[in-house]
Amino acid sequence: MREVLLIRLARLHAEHPWKMFLIVIILTVLLAFAASQLSVTMRWSDLLPSDDPRTIQFNKIIQEFKTSTSLTIVVQGEEKRIKKFADELAPNIVNAVNARKNAEIETDVTKLQEKIKKRRSRGKDTSDLERQIRELQGGKDRKLFQRVDYKLNMDFLRNHAMMLIKKQDLENLKDIFYSPNLTELLTNYNNAFEKEYIGRQESISSREKEDGAVKTLDGIENFIAFLQKIADRQQVSEKDVEQTVDFLLFGDPYFLSYDQQGLVLNAIPNFSLTDIDLVVAAVEAVEVLLTDMADDFPDVQAGMTGFLAISRDEMIYSEQSLGTTSLIAVIAILILLIISFRMWFAPLLAIFTLMIGVLWAVGVTALIVGQLNIMTQMMMVILFGLGIDFAIHLIASFSERRAAGGSIADAMQYTFTKSGKGVLTGALTTAVAFLTLLVSHSRGMKEMGLVTGFGLLSILLATFLLLPPLLVFKERMWAWLRTKLKASPQKSRDISFRSLGALSNWLCNHYGFTLFAALLVTCAMAWLSSKMTFDYNYLNIEPKGLTSITLQDTVLNKFDLSMDYALITAETPEESRRLAQGCKDFSSVAMVDDISNYLPSPAQQQERRPLIVEIKNEMQNASIQSRLPRGGFEQFRNELQRLQFNIMEMQDMAFIGGQDKVDNKCQTIVGDPEDVNSMNKIADLLRTLEEYETVADIFDKFQRDFAPRFKASVVRMCHAEPITLSDLPEDILDQFSNNKRDQFLITIFPAGNIWQDARFLNQFTDDIERVTDRATGMPPVFRALIQVIGRDGRTAMLFTIVIVFILLWIDFGKPGYALLAMTPLAIGVIWMVGLMYLTRQQFTVMNVMGLPMILGIGIDDGVHIMHRWISEDRKNILTVFSSTGKAILLTSLTTMLAFGSLIFSIWRGFGHLGAALFVGVAACFLATLVVLPGAIGLLNRNTNKSN
């Protein structure tokens, strides 16, 4: 049946090549249109099963919470300059529009205006076109971002800051707010410092405590600088006073790094991450702004990271990178074919056929899947490597027969009967092996199976339909040229690899040695395979050299904050508070950001209220002294000295406690204890004060400028009325809530680098998932991905083995032959993993997929050799390996070249898969070359004995 169909197809090609060509053209046009509709997604969550709660939650969050997918701009430089840079950049980002869309609208409007002119000249109605223009223009200048977050909302804090401080902290800190007068304020600070560690339940070494200490020290540093300015009799502006008070009460409002050399701006988009065109437009718009500002701020470095920037970069650069790797693969394959076939035109036809086949594959992908994901993106390169094999086998047989003097029709029939069957079996086996990935739970693997399985079948169809007519045209053209030029007929050339045949023949004759050596190598490789490890670091599979990726490390180092956070949604602020508190209890969690930071529970507010009222009353009743009391100057200096001691002691405690941020901050105020030349700002101020007989004039200045504002600010922030959801300003609500205000977002930052150690990734994810089963974000998604893909890989491998065996049994008619054909594959897989270990590769979430794939790819070698061996009446090992051996060597080399080209990909994950498959294909070929002749030798001996 199969043979009859193939012979009919061969005849059709030989007799009606133009008709076949026409069918190909029609199919190509249709599938090219489908291919143009294909979209790409770069989200890791899209690799998980569609019904996975993490995927559902993640998609819900990116749809409902624009803040969760912001564009992060990291600015680095000197503190004042980066603040100025941010102040100038932020309004420009808010005003940024989609320039590309504007240009498109302009073009459309111009076209419509021309139409209107024409209609008017004919006296026709143009109102519909005018309406279209109005609609189009309404879509112009749409802003890409709703706002930029880079400072605290000071208005809200000025009114409600006290209500946001925990009761325990209020009790410890309340003394600070009892007096606005200089000496008393310093005394109160010192008292609070010396009381700081007393009676606390929680440790100061926790992340939040360390941050709190740094914030307080920031305020003091600024306060000392302010006093120094007054002592130096410099002009103090209203703004200086306001800033000093704000720093002391609220800390620095800018989102600054610990070393104050870095600043982060979060641009909140007006669109969702799923709208990839707008993602690209928005990132490009900000890129233009940053480039424009570079001239005015040569000392400031700025770059983009976060979901939007990474999505844009990954898409653009991976497309470029895959384009380059595809080109490398095609050129390398072409050169290899030209050298091995010792002709150039047929390889060109093979490549052309392959291109059309890949186009069909993309079209079919668009029809059945609709989009490519991170994994299936590289399907083209994989299909290049595998699809070219069909053409190689067909060209090899066709050329062989033509060289032997066969007519075109005869050569075509020979090609389809001799190679067609093998190609068909090989392709179907590989495609079915890929399609077994459909048993996977993960979308990534499932789609990979669909895309590569149907893609391979598309190329097979393209090769069977397009290559033969092209070969017929080529032969006819050559014949016509030879007649025209009166050239002599082409000489017969033997293009088989005799040396390969001779080697296999020797291995077959010395089967004992061959099989023993193969067994030894296999044992060694199996031992090496057992030492393979899994690399859980997702950053190692991300593209290298991309600013958006490297800036993630900058944020981690400078801000001590991982951008790979977990996300949870809650339906009420109460639930948000409960979940946030649950997460805070784990030491694997560094920080939790949720609405409860701005909206304490009614019970918490109730217990804070009396303390706030007390502070307010104390401050309201405190009088601003107009004169320094007797002995006040000495007392002021003593308090300054005491403050210096307190900060020094805090510094020493921080050093032995390993709290580097507090230690470093103290160092900027009281100097480095190991460097006598380092600056001690309090000591400097004390020295300046020693120059004065009296501090009265300084005191007056302070009292006049600072004290009233400090008093007013403290009274204002002691708003004792409860904060309700409706009191929160829009920007805070937007940060934590969706538009309907019925969903609330909780962001959980891990306490360390989750990628450095799988145990920490598991610990962090387990902790969060213990609080709720609705957690999503990169840590839960990636951990689930590792588990799902690992499980899928094992299941798919088992299915593939069974299905391949059944297919081969059907094909060969004997289970023994099916097993024989599969033996080199089984050994090849062991060699592959062993070689991966030897070449210092590790399993990753990307290359682990290579194991089930290699089962489908590697089986072809054994199938082709077995087919040829059977067709040679189970004899002529020399011929089998000289001819078909050459073909499988070529197909293996072309496949290796295609997979090997992925190593040059900017996406390290693609490179990992490419390297694994490169090694895998080589291992399967070598196993076929060594094990099959040995096994055949053993079979022949047994047959001879029984005869």
Partner 1 sequence: MKYFILILMLPLLAFSQEKTGAQIINKVNDLMNQESSEVTMTMTIITSSGQERTFEYLSYSVNFGEKNLIIYQAPSRVKGQKMLMLNQADDIWAYFPRTQRVRKLATHAKKQKFEGSDFSNEDLGSGDSFTTDYNAQLIDEENKAGYDCYVVELTRNPRADISYSRLIVWVRKSDYVPLIIDYYDDKNPDRLLKTLSQSNIQIIDGVPTAMRMIMHNHSDNTSTTVEIKKVKYNVPLDDELFTERGLKK
- Residues in contact with 67: Cβ distance below 8 Å, sequence separation at least 6, in sequence order: 149, 266, 268, 734, 735, 736, 745
Q: Which of 355, 340, 354, 283 is nearest to 317 (CA)?
A: 283
CB 223 within 8 A of CB 246: no
Pick the closer one to partner 1 by CB: 204 or 267: 204
CB 94 within 8 A of CB 145: yes
Binding mask 39-78 for partner 1 (x = CB under 8 A): ----------------------------------------
Structure tokens at 569: 């949604």
Pick the closer one to partner 1 by CB: 292 or 660: 660
- Listed ranges 151-159, 403-411, 641-649, 816-824: which one lies at the site for partner 1 (CB under 8 A): 641-649
Nearest distance from C-beta of residue 559 to partner 1, angstroms: 12
CB 599 within 8 A of CB 725: yes
Interface residue with partner 1 among 250, 645, 805, 904 (CB under 8 A) is 645
Nearest distance from C-beta of residue 576 to partner 1, angstroms: 21
Under the criterion CB under 8 A, does residue 208 sit at the interface with partner 1? no
Q: Tell me, what DSSP letter sits at residue 741?
A: S
Pick the closer one to partner 1 by CB: 357 or 750: 750
Structure tokens at 86: 């941010």
One-letter amino acid of 758: A
CA–chain centroid gap for 534, Å, is 18
CB 68 within 8 A of CB 272: no
CA–chain centroid gap for 442, Å, is 17
Nearest distance from C-beta of residue 334 to partner 1, angstroms: 51
Task: Show contacts with partner 1 in window 663-692 (CB under 8 A).
Answer: 673-674
Pick the closer one to partner 1 by CB: 98 or 680: 680
Q: What is the CA radius of gyration of the chain?
A: 37
Pick the closer one to partner 1 by CB: 707 or 751: 751
Paired residues of 552 in beta bridges = none
Nearest distance from C-beta of residue 206 to partner 1, angstroms: 9
Q: Which of 108, 237, 670 is nearest to 662 (CA)?
A: 670
Under the criterion CB under 8 A, does residue 653 sit at the interface with partner 1? yes
Nearest distance from C-beta of residue 673 to partner 1, angstroms: 6
Interface residue with partner 1 among 201, 483, 621, 946 (CB under 8 A) is 201
Task: Show contacts with partner 1 in window 543-602 (CB under 8 A).
Answer: 560, 585-588
Structure tokens at 654: 């921080």
Paired residues of 151 in beta bridges = 254
Q: Which of 922, 867, 915 is nearest to 889 (CA)?
A: 922
CB 854 within 8 A of CB 924: yes
Interface residue with partner 1 among 33, 197, 527, 692 (CB under 8 A) is 197
Under the criterion CB under 8 A, does residue 210 sit at the interface with partner 1? yes
Under the criterion CB under 8 A, does residue 194 sit at the interface with partner 1? yes
CB 199 within 8 A of CB 648: no
Pick the closer one to partner 1 by CB: 201 or 621: 201
CB 934 within 8 A of CB 843: no
Under the criterion CB under 8 A, does residue 660 sit at the interface with partner 1? yes
Interface residue with partner 1 among 158, 752, 803, 876 (CB under 8 A) is 752
Pick the closer one to partner 1 by CB: 489 or 658: 658
- Listed ranges 204-212, 624-632, 687-695, 703-711: which one lies at the site for partner 1 (CB under 8 A): 204-212
State the DSSP string of 843-910.
Answer: B-TTGGGHHHHHHHHHHHHHHHHHHHHHHTTT--HHHHHHHHHHHHHHHHHHHHHHHHHGGG-SBHHH
Interface residue with partner 1 among 21, 345, 352, 655 (CB under 8 A) is 655
CA 395/CA 413 separation, integer angstroms: 13
- Listed ranges 130-138, 506-514, 759-767, 851-859: which one lies at the site for partner 1 (CB under 8 A): 759-767
Under the criterion CB under 8 A, does residue 763 sit at the interface with partner 1? yes
Under the criterion CB under 8 A, does residue 203 sit at the interface with partner 1? yes
C-alpha torsion 413→414→418→419, nearest 10: -70
One-letter amino acid of 10: A
Only one residue has tokens 């023994």, namely 816
- Provide the edge-to-edge strand list for the sheet that holds 744-750: 589-593, 744-750, 566-570, 776-777
Pick the closer one to partner 1 by CB: 299 or 660: 660
Nearest distance from C-beta of residue 597 to partner 1, angstroms: 22
Under the criterion CB under 8 A, does residue 478 sit at the interface with partner 1? no
Interface residue with partner 1 among 1, 4, 199, 484 (CB under 8 A) is 199
Nearest distance from C-beta of residue 770 to partner 1, angstroms: 9
Interface residue with partner 1 among 751, 789, 835, 845 (CB under 8 A) is 751
Interface residue with partner 1 among 128, 652, 721, 773 (CB under 8 A) is 652
Pick the closer one to partner 1 by CB: 362 or 771: 771
Under the criterion CB under 8 A, does residue 661 sit at the interface with partner 1? yes
Under the criterion CB under 8 A, does residue 648 sit at the interface with partner 1? yes
CA 367/CA 15 separation, integer angstroms: 33
Interface residue with partner 1 among 198, 485, 603, 676 (CB under 8 A) is 198
Paired residues of 776 in beta bridges = 567
SS3 string of 783-837? HHHHHHHHHHHHHHHHHHHHHHHHHHHHHHCCHHHHHHHHHHHHHHHHHHHHHHH
CA–chain centroid gap for 525, Å, is 33
Nearest distance from C-beta of residue 260 to partner 1, angstroms: 16
Between vectors from CA 14 to CA 13 and to CA 16, what angle results, nearest 5°? 65
In the complex, which residues of this chain contact partner 1 (CB under 8 A)? 194, 197-201, 203, 205, 207, 210, 560, 585-588, 645, 648-649, 652-653, 655-661, 673-674, 751-752, 757, 759-760, 763, 767
